[in-house]
Amino acid sequence: MAGQGHEQRRRLVLVAAPFQGHINPLLQLSAVLHSKGFFITIVHTQFNSPDPSNYPEFNFLFIQDGLSDHDIASLDLTAIVLVLNDKCQLPFQECLARLVKEQETRDDRIACVIYDELAYFSEATARNLKLPSIIFRTSNANTFLARSVIIEMHVQGRFPLADPLSQKAVLEHPPLRQRDLPISSFGPIENFFKLIGNARDVRRSSAIVYNTMDCLEGSSIAKLQQHCHVPIFAIGPIHKIVPAPSCSLLEEDTNCMSWLDRQALNSVIYVSPGSLASINEKDILEMAWGLANSKQPFLWVVRPGSVHGSERVESLPEGFTEIVGEKGRVVRWAPQKEVLAHNAVGGFWSHCGWNSLLESISEGVPLICRPSFGDQKVTARYVSQVWRVGLHLEDELERGEIESVIRRLMADREGDEMRQRAMDLKEKAELCIRTGGSSSGSLNKLVGLIKSFEQ
Ligand code: UDP
């Protein structure tokens, strides 16, 4: 019984933001905290709601987000996040108040609320109910710092940029150039500033958790901490701490795994634009022929909606899959973590979403970076210039250039050297989460902080 000599297990309420690149790390963080002895409740919106079946030990609760089909079809991503934060506050207040009441009579009182930085409505609700809260940032420390530069430029009247593709160095944040600044390409710029302003506001939260680690961003994490009045815990790569089942919003095509089994060591280039980025029809044709002409085996994710104005493979050149034959596979959605861990995969053409980057370096896979927007541009710059584990494909997509960049990564000495550096980073990342490592130490401190809330 509670309070009779043994430690009570407390419940954590984790609030998700409704995007694949946010749901994955939040569920991974939940799995980690569950392994540390906490009960878990996941609160999510109806829009892009995760499938709870892979997590029977968690309690999933959805809140009415008030988004209509028309909103989802017509609003840009920034506007969706702003609307959700307006509309979710009241339903979350009711949901959390009910939970608190239920828990009063039980053994698993709520210790705190951990919320995705994009679900910032959560903090006021937690505070109203006298619960501590913690922010979870699913992107990297350098993006956060670069956003501060953008805000400063805006204040000084240097924003919007005269030339968004400018190669000019950002003196406040080397090695970024102005073109690498993490600017959203969605909706009016005022909405972008409103969103990053709200998301970066710590409010009265007690701590901030980042899915990053010292071996990648040590000095930037330290810099963030200097300017922040609450503790920052960099505990990544979270997906490597404990195994967490898939939580894909789209069905994973697992048939590609047996195809990978038939390919030679490090021979396959895996290509994926993540869950949000999209390209135009001309670019997809150049990519298709660049991949085919490279003669390198490839596994390519062409997600529904990832080609403007098309629903998928129909936009590939006629007869493409027949011409490519056994040499290539095109899927709608891949089991990405497993794909990257397969020893046939020797390179990753990526949009440089932060989860994709962590998953790639955790397996020692070097990259071809083709970022689209936001933090992807920062990550791509760090991949090519700082960690030197990939090539940045910056110019207009053209099949000859694509063929040559794939060769450089997959067949040349330059690529071997990047693969070696990626393997070194893999080892360093493993050390970070091992006992005595920086992420492991931060995780212990985080757990200690949460337990200190329990009094
Ligand atoms: N992902 C996947 N299968 C795919 C493509 C992506 O499972 O075919 C997963 C990937 O492993 C990652 C997430 O979707 O965890 C994408 O997050 P990321 O931060 O890389 O990019 P975003 O989608 O947010 O742009």
Encoded tokens for 454: 């329990």
pLDDT, residue 6, reads 57
Q: State the span(s) of the chain assigned CATH 3.40.50.2000.
A: 9-245+435-452, 254-431
Q: What percent of the chain has pLDDT over 90?
A: 86
pLDDT at 51: 94
- Residue 114 pLDDT more than 60? yes
Does residue 81 register a pLDDT over 80? yes
Q: How far is the CA of 306 from the centre of ligand 1 (A)?
A: 13
CA of 208 to the centre of ligand 1 (A): 23
Q: Tell me the fold of 9-245+435-452.
A: Rossmann fold (3.40.50)
* CA distance linking residue 286 with residue 269, whole number of Å: 16
Rounded Cα distance, 377 and 177, in Å: 10
In this prediction, the answer to ipTM > 0.95 reads yes
Give 297-354 pLDDT, tens digit per residue: 999 999 988 887 655 555 788 889 888 999 999 999 999 999 999 999 999 999 999 9
Q: What is the pLDDT of residues 259-308, one digit of tens each?
A: 999 999 999 999 999 999 988 999 999 999 999 999 999 999 999 888 87
Q: pLDDT tier at 124 (50, 70, 90 boundaries)?
A: very high
Residue 104 has pLDDT above 90, yes or no: no
Q: Could you give phi then psi for residue 396, rounded to 5 degrees?
A: -55, 140
Ligand 1 centroid – CA 320 distance (Å): 25
Residue 300 has φ and ψ, to the nearest 5°, of -125, 125
User: What pLDDT is recorded for position 7?
Assistant: 65
108-134 b/e (C-beta count within 10 Å ≥ 16 → b): bbbbbbbbbbbbbbbbebbeeeebbbb
Does the domain made of 254-431 have the CATH classification 3.40.190.180?
A: no
**Chain-wide mean pLDDT for the chain?**
94
Task: Note the pLDDT of residue 48.
Answer: 96
Q: Taking CA 216 as the corner, what is the angle to CA 167 and CA 145, rounded to the nearest 5 degrees?
A: 50
Kindly indicate the confidence band of residue 5, based on its pLDDT and cuts at 50, 70 and 90.
very low
Residues whose beta carbon lies within 6 Å of some atom of ligand 1: 19-21, 24, 248, 272, 274-277, 301, 333-334, 336-337, 353-356, 359
Q: What pLDDT does residue 4 have?
A: 45
CA of 153 to the centre of ligand 1 (A): 31
Q: What is the pLDDT of residue 3?
A: 43
- Ligand 1: residue of 19, 251, 275, 369 to mutate (most ligand atoms within 8 A of CB) is 275
How many of the other CB atoms lie within 10 Å of CB of 281?
Answer: 12
Q: In the prediction, which pLDDT does 89 show?
A: 95
User: Which among 138, 356, 361, 363 is the best mutation to test ligand 1's pocket, defined by most ligand atoms within 8 Å of the CB?
Assistant: 356
Is pLDDT of 231 > 70? yes
Which atom, in ligand 1's list, is nearest to the CA of 357?
A: 20
Q: Which atom of ligand 1 is nearest to the CA of 356?
A: 20
pLDDT at residue 161, as a whole number: 87
H helical segments located in 278-395: 281-294, 320-324, 336-341, 354-361, 375-385
CA-nearest of 51, 37, 19 to 252 is 51
Q: Whose CA is nearest to atom 21 of ligand 1?
A: 353
Q: Flag whether pLDDT at 1 surpasses 50.
A: no
Q: Is the pLDDT of residue 130 over 90?
A: yes
- Ligand 1: residue whose CA is nearest its atom 15: 355
- The structure's pTM equals 0.96
pLDDT of residue 186: 81
Residue nearest atom 5 in ligand 1 by C-alpha distance:
274
Please tell me the residue having the least CA distance from ligand 1 atom 16.
Answer: 21
Name which of 86-95, 152-161, 382-391 the model is least confident about.
152-161
In this prediction, residue 2 has a pLDDT band, given cuts at 50, 70 and 90, of very low
Return the percentage of the chain with pLDDT > 70, whole number.
Answer: 97
Q: How confident is the model at residue 355 (pLDDT cuts 50, 70, 90)?
A: very high
What are the pLDDT digits (tens) for 251-260? 999 999 999 9
No. of helices (H) and no. of strands (E), the chain: 17, 13
Contact between residue 351 and residue 272 where contact means Cβ atoms under 8 Å apart: yes
pLDDT digits (tens, 9 = 90+) for 161-203: 889 899 999 999 999 999 999 998 788 889 999 999 999 999 9
- Say what the pLDDT of residue 145 is: 97
Residues 6 or more apart whose CB falls under 8 angstroms from that of 44 comprise: 15, 16, 18, 23, 50, 60, 61, 62, 63
408 CA to centre of ligand 1 in angstroms: 25
Position in ligand 1 atom list of the atom nearest CA 25: 15
